[in-house]
Chains A and B, each alone.
Chain A
Amino acid sequence: MTDATSDLPSGKPVTTAHASLLTESPKMKKRNAAEARFKMYGIFAITLGLAFLIFLTFSILRNGIPAFTQTVVNVEFTLTQEQFDEAESKMLKTAAYTEIFVNNITEQFQERGLDVEFDGGTVERLLGKVGGDLRSFYRDNPSQIGQPVDFQLSAASRVERYLQGKLTRDMVVDGRFLEAADLDVVDAMVAAGIIGTAWDWNFITGTDTGVDNPGGAGIGASVIGSFFMMVVVLLLSLPIGVAASIYLEEFAPKNRFTDLIEVNISNLAAVPSIVFGILGLAVFIQFAHLPQSAPLVGGLVLTLMTLPTIVISTRASLKSVPPSIRDAALGVGASKMQSVFHHVLPLAMPGILTGTIIGLAQALGETAPLLLIGMVGYVAREYPDGIASGLLDPNSAMPAQIYTWAARSDEAFFEKAWGGIIILLIFLLTMNIIAIILRRRFERRW
């Protein structure tokens, strides 16, 4: 035992025999400093990790929240009966309405002492097809003619980005969408106080648009696509996963077949998701000729991905049901199958549901396999009409839609992508909170 001292970290025999226990020897000082440093490293690492999380959250919120609002121009507008009759008698009716609108706005500017000149083209670039909107409004509501009506016209996305400072005058080169002179009108509108922001429902309920209309793009259709995929995943992965876990946990004999299944499940849990995409492409689309971009195919691929997660959590919750429950059931004459289905499974249900919700949340955010089954090239312009169409017609899904927007060259779509992420994260957060509540509420400790 004596030579144990030479194994001390110092490597030398202790020489501070005369020092007091209460005073720190230089060596002890060094060791204590090392101790404090080491602890600091740990605190630093955790702070860094949390700082990353905060930075990520901050940048999502800062970039994404503007997607939920749109810039609108509020105009009080009165159309007299004569103006209506005159415009309706013209060849180019909507152009006539646009002209009336331009004159009206110019008057409003002049009342406030603002002097800018603009024409119908400017209005179309800034606010879209105002003339057509006005005409259809007054044709549908003839009683409003002659009375002042408040119009809220949504501004083009480029106007919005100009107001946010993301677009400057010298960046405006493309005359098709916006001319530098148009920005004078925008400035005048700001000075007149008729431009403002409003909540944009279209972003939540709308569908995707082509590449030339970032302002009108919405995430609604892809939420429905994701919903149909999740229904497929839930309906397939929950029964299959639970059945597989019951077999493996309760019935499987210890043999090579069982081992093979176990090894397969633990490996599938770690296979990169893109490989599942390749599988889906080769088996479901190339071999089985299922339609491309269909939520059904996406659901099938995600089911295969989610199964290992569900099996692992289901087995854990089956394992946590104490054997005494099984023994008691068997003791009163139940068969093994009855004891499992009547007693063990109901007791394990909260744990199974928690695992399933977490698996679904994972599947909801998964993007890579969806890229391969064609959900990215597709522009989801329409809502599906009915269940069969929801499953089989091409659609997008939330993460695929976000990727599509992020990959477009027009920077106005990036804001939509960030906004889409907020919606996706809200769904994930809700699912996880439900899972936590389920666990807290129903979990039994034996």
Chain B
Amino acid sequence: MSNTLILLIILGLGVIGFIMGRARAMAVADGDRRNLHSLPVYYAANVGLNAIVPACIVLFIWLIAQPFFINNSVSGMIDQDRIAEGSSLSLVMSDVRRVAEGLDVAVAEGAMSAEMASDIRTEFSNVRERLAEVGVALGSGVTSETLQAAQSYRAMALTGNWLKTIIVLLVSVAGLAVSWRMITRDYRARNIVEKGIMLVLIGAASIAILTTVGIILSLIFNTYEFFKLYSAWDFFFGTNWAPSFSGRGGSSELGILPLLWGTLYISVIALLVAVPIGLFAAIYLSEYASKSVRSIAKPMLEVLAGIPTIVYGLFALLTVGPLLVEVFGDGGALGVTWMSGGTAVMTAGLVMGMMLIPFVSSLSDDIINAVPQAMRDGSLGLGATHSETVRQVIIPAALPGIVGAILLAASRAIGETMIVVLGAGAAARLSLNPFDAMTTVTAKIVSQLTGDSDFSSPVALVAFALGISLFVVTLGLNIFALYIVRKYREQYE
């Protein structure tokens, strides 16, 4: 039985349980709900949930456990010595699975009878051709050993599926029956249901932890695999980035330093654009602007933060890049030949700076507004001009918060992907010329992992090592920035 069908049956049982529970609750209360401890709907919900939730948990665990169990026992059947040169157990197992799926398809399409699929032998017929007839392509001929493994794989999966159906449905019915039987006048149905809802709420809140754990585990495992193939020293201190796809990436040079340099260079340019503009905009909006100017200019600036980064990427690639080449390129307005192509550090940095203006300005605006009015009044009362007050009183008071805002913007800049993928170029190099094409950590993660990458070559796995470096750096910056902002806030609240 398919999982969807099982799920539907469980849900149906839940609805039946709901109706039965309500009926029984009203029956034990002699038709008057005032005789019950809880509202009837809680009795009903209790029975319904008991029919659904434990059964779903069992189903879920079964779905995860069964493939592991079958894989283990089938791979035990395969003789380790007979695995061909250049192959591995996992490759043989994927062959086995593919043959098993092929047999399933063949049975489903009526090209083979069920008995035939479990009895067929390579000695008597060409399995590969027969499977090709029903549209299952196999890379190589099927050995008798693979076929036998596939057949026992199928048999075990079939038994497993039957067991799963029976057990899950039994659990559901049992849950329904037990909770139905337990309904009495004094049964505390509401407390039980509320406890269940509480568990759901806690579970939902824990997803944040699970996500973080998932990120860390998937990064660490794959990075560990990478460092088994490539030395960590060469990765962190290598000054050359030259992935080579020949020989399964064996001759690649994968040093992170050129990528870090590109990331840093672009981020610095972006911050050089965003911080002065953002800061002055924030000061003007919070200290000088009239209410009507503020109510128009502030949302307009924030629109810049709401535009998807792919738009900025395209803008960098197709508008800003060519424009810069016209100024700084060969035969350009300045008569210099600094820039050879549209994609460059400057292109990506400028556009990223535009994107970051609202990050700096909104956060700084909030922080400047949080400076107590008394400090302004004191300074103005002593005869300082407005700008002197801003420079000598407000900015120093707001400095920790502003630094925090800048750090948050910096972490954005380091983690930004689309602008650099489209605007910064693909060549990894250590150069000082801001009009050269350079590349960043994020851009290389994308280029190493897109397309048909297998996860066994260092050329693909390096992306995870890059990812963990990026994760650690941005996380560190964020924690530091939040720490500063929070510490500052406590001073005035």
Q: How far is the CA of A277 from the CA of B417 in the complex (A)?
A: 11
Residue B208 CB within 8 A of the other chain = yes
Contact A49 B211 (CB under 8 A): no
A317, B394: Cα distance in complex, Å: 31
Q: A244-B201, A261-B206 are in contact. List 9 more A-B contacts (CB 8 A).
A: A42-B283, A45-B284, A53-B301, A56-B354, A63-B318, A268-B211, A271-B471, A275-B471, A418-B318
| Chain A residue nearest to B299 in the complex (CB) | A436
B205 touches A46 (CB 8 A): no
Q: Which of B222, B387, B479 has the most CB of A within 10 A?
A: B387
Q: Would you give the 0/1 interface string for B416-427, flagging 1 where the beta carbon is closer than 8 Å to chain A?
A: 111001100000
Confirm or deny: A39 has a beta carbon within 8 angstroms of a beta carbon on chain B: yes
Among candidates A271, A307, A311, A407, residue contacting B215 with C-beta atoms closer than 8 Å: A271
Which residues of B have CB within 8 Å of A252? 205
- Say yes or no: is B307 at the interface (Cβ < 8 Å to chain A): yes
Contacts of A48 in B (CB 8 A): 277
| 11 A-B contacts (beta carbon < 8 Å) | A42-B288, A52-B357, A53-B304, A248-B205, A251-B201, A268-B208, A276-B215, A278-B467, A335-B190, A368-B442, A406-B422
Question: Which one, B5-13, B176-184, B230-238, B309-317, is touching chain A?
Answer: B309-317
**Closest A residue by C-beta to B301:** A49
Whole-angstrom distance between the alpha carbons of A437 and B288 in the complex?
29
Question: When A35-B386, A267-B475 are in contact, do A244 and B442 touch as well, CB less than 8 Å?
Answer: no
**A251-B467 in contact given A278-B219, A367-B418, A368-B309 (Cβ < 8 Å):** no
A403 to B203, CA, bound (A): 37
Contact assessment for B204 and A244 in the assembled complex, using a CB-CB cutoff below 8 Å:
yes
Contact between chains at A264 and B201 (CB < 8 Å):
no
Q: Name the A residues within 8 Å of B397 (CB-CB).
A: none
Query: Do A265 and B208 touch across chains, with their CB atoms under 8 A apart?
Result: yes
Give the CA-CA distance A406 to B387 in the complex, in Å. 46
Kindly report which residue of chain B lies nearest to residue A406, judged by CB atoms.
B314
Instruction: Give the complex CA separation of A31 and B384 in angstroms.
Output: 9
Please indicate the chain A residues that have their CB under 8 angstroms from the CB of B358 in the complex: 49
In the complex, the answer to whether A372 meets B450 with C-beta atoms within 8 Å is yes
Interface residues of B in 96-141 (CB under 8 A from A): none
B91 within 8 A of A: no
Q: In whole Å, how far is A208's beta carbon from the nearest beta carbon of chain B? A: 16
Q: Is the CB of A428 within 8 A of B442?
A: no
When the two chains form their complex, are residues B198 and A39 in contact, meaning their CB atoms are under 8 A apart? no
Most buried by A among B219, B288, B318, B390: B318
Interface status of A38 (Cβ within 8 A of chain B): yes
B405 at the interface (CB under 8 A from A): no
Q: List the B side residues contacting A376 at CB < 8 Å.
A: 450
Partner of B449, one of A281, A283, A424: A281
Q: Which residues of B from 457 to 493 have beta carbons under 8 Å from A?
A: 463-464, 467, 470-471, 474-475, 478-479, 482
Instruction: Give CA–CA (A365, B417) in the complex, Å.
Output: 13
By size class, the interface of chain A is 35 or more
**Using an 8 Å CB-CB cutoff, how does the interface string of A259-300 with B read, 1 for contact, 0 for none?**
011001111101111111111011100110000000000000
Stretch in contact with the other chain, from B20-28, B73-81, B241-249, B407-415:
B407-415
Nearest residue (CB) in A for B193 is A337
Contact A246 B315 (CB under 8 A): no
- Which positions in B face A, CB cutoff 8 Å? 190, 194, 197-198, 200-209, 211-212, 214-215, 218-219, 221-222, 276-281, 283-285, 287-288, 297, 300-301, 303-304, 306-315, 317-319, 354, 357-358, 361, 382-388, 390-392, 408, 411, 414-418, 421-422, 442, 445-446, 449-452, 455, 463-464, 467, 470-471, 474-475, 478-479, 482
Q: Would you call A110 an interface residue if the criterion is a C-beta within 8 Å of the partner chain's C-beta atoms?
A: no
Q: Quick one: which of A53, A265, A377 contacts B451, CB cutoff 8 A?
A: A377
Residues of chain A contacted by B442 (CB below 8 angstroms): 272, 274, 368
- Rounded to whole Å, the gap between the CB of A284 and the closest CB of chain B is 10
On whether the beta carbons of A406 and B317 are closer than 8 Å, the reply is: yes
A74 contacts chain B at the CB level, 8 A cutoff: no
B464 touches A272 (CB 8 A): no
Q: In whole Å, how far is B119's beta carbon from the nearest beta carbon of chain A? A: 29
Taking the closest CB of chain B, its distance from the CB of A369, in whole angstroms, is 9
A137 sits at the interface (CB 8 A): no
Question: Is A425 at the interface (CB under 8 A from chain B)?
Answer: yes
Chain A 309-348 per-residue mask, 1 if CB under 8 angstroms from chain B, else 0: 0010000000000000000000000010100000000000
Contact of A275 among B194, B215, B284, B311 (CB under 8 A): B215
Chain B proximity of A8: nearest CB distance (Å): 8
Known A-B contacts A264-B208, A264-B209, A399-B310; A42 and B304 likewise in contact (beta carbons under 8 Å): no
Asked if residues B212 and A34 are in contact (CB atoms below 8 Å), the reply is: no
Query: Please, how many angstroms separate the alpha-carbon atoms of A46 and B365 in the complex?
Result: 13
Given the known interface contacts A35-B385, A247-B205, A406-B314, the answer about A425 and B211 at a Cβ–Cβ threshold of 8 Å is no
Within 13-41 of A, Cβ neighbours of B (below 8 Å) are at 31-32, 34-35, 37-39, 41
Does B311 lie within 8 Å of A425, measured CB to CB?
yes
Chain B contacts for A45, CB-based, 8 A? 276-281, 284
CB of B284 within 8 A of CB of A283, answer no
Smallest distance from the beta carbon of A282 to chain B beta carbons, Å? 3
Residues of B near A424 (CB, < 8 A) are 308, 310-311
CA distance A361 to B305 in the complex (A): 12
State the CA gap A371–B207 with chains docked (Å).
24
Contact status B304-A49, CB under 8 Å: yes
CB distance from B459 to the nearest CB of A (A): 15
For A46, list chain B residues within 8 Å (CB): 280-281, 284-285, 297, 301
User: Is A65's beta carbon under 8 Å from chain B?
Assistant: no
B479 cross-chain contacts in A, Cβ below 8 A: 267
